[in-house]
Structure 1
Amino acid sequence: MSTKAERTTAYIIKTVAPVFNKHGYIGTSMSDLTEATGLTKGALYGNFENKEALALSAFEYNSKILLAAVDEQLNHPGTALDKVYSFTDFYKKYDIFTLEMGGCPILNVGVDAQHNNNLLAAASRETVKEIEGKLALVLENGVNSGEFKIPVSPLQFAKQLITMIQGAITMATISKDRKYLHNTIAYLDVLIKQELKN
Structure 2
Amino acid sequence: MGRVKEFDPDVALRAAMDLFWRQGYEATSMQDLVDHLGLGRGSIYATFGGKHDLFLRAFERYVDDARAGLLDQLSAPGSSLDAVKSLVRWYAQTASDDEQRKGCFMTNTAVEVPEDRDAGRLVTSSLEDMETVLTAALMRARSEGELPADRDPVALARFLVTVLQGIRVVGKTSIRRRFLDDTVAQALSVFD
Specify the TM-score bucket, using the shorter chain as the normaliser. 0.7 to 0.9
Matched, 1:153 2:152: yes
SS of residue matched to 1:70? helix
Partner of 2:134: 135
Matched, 1:20 2:29: no
Matched, 1:65 2:65: yes
Instruction: Identify the structure with bigger relative contact order (alpha carbons < 8 Å, sequence gap 6+).
Output: 2
Q: Distance in 2 between matches of 1:6 and 1:67?
A: 30
Q: Distance in 1 between matches of 2:71 and 2:126?
A: 13
- Between the two proteins, the alignment pairs up a number of residues equal to 189
Q: Distance in 1 between matches of 2:36 and 2:156?
A: 41
Q: Which amino acid is the alignment partner of residue 153 of structure 2?
A: P
Partner of 1:172: 171
CA RMSD of aligned residues (A): 2.4
Q: Distance in 2 between matches of 1:29 and 1:125?
A: 26
Cα–Cα, structure 1 residues 60 and 6, in superposed 2: closer, same or farther, change >3 Å? farther
Q: Distance in 1 between matches of 2:66 and 2:94?
A: 10
- Larger CA deviation: 121-130 vs 145-154: 145-154
Q: Which runs of 5+ in 1 are unaligned?
A: none
> 1:162, CA displacement in angstroms?
1.6
Is contact 2:12-2:37 (8 Å) kept? yes
Is contact 1:24-1:113 (8 Å) kept? no
- Larger CA deviation: 99-108 vs 47-56: 99-108
Cα–Cα, structure 1 residues 84 and 114, in superposed 2: closer, same or farther, change >3 Å? same
Task: Give the % identical residues.
Answer: 26
Partner of 2:189: 190
Deviation per residue, 1:4-56 (Å, 9 max, x gap)? 74952112111111211222222211011001011111110010122222101
Query: Which is helix-richer, 1 or 2?
Result: 1
- Larger CA deviation: 49-58 vs 146-155: 146-155
> 1:143, CA displacement in angstroms?
2.1
Q: Distance in 1 between matches of 2:109 and 2:47?
A: 22
Q: TM-score, normalised by structure 1?
A: 0.83
Q: Which runs of 5+ in 2 are unaligned?
A: none
Q: Distance in 1 between matches of 2:146 and 2:131?
A: 20
Partner of 1:81: 81
Matches within 5 A, 1:82-101: 82-95=82-95, 99=99
Matched, 1:163 2:153: no
- Larger CA deviation: 92-101 vs 159-168: 92-101
Deviation per residue, 1:142-174 (Å, 9 max, x gap)? 223443225453111100112122222212213
Is contact 1:80-1:142 (8 Å) kept? yes
Cα–Cα, structure 1 residues 18 and 100, in superposed 2: closer, same or farther, change >3 Å? farther
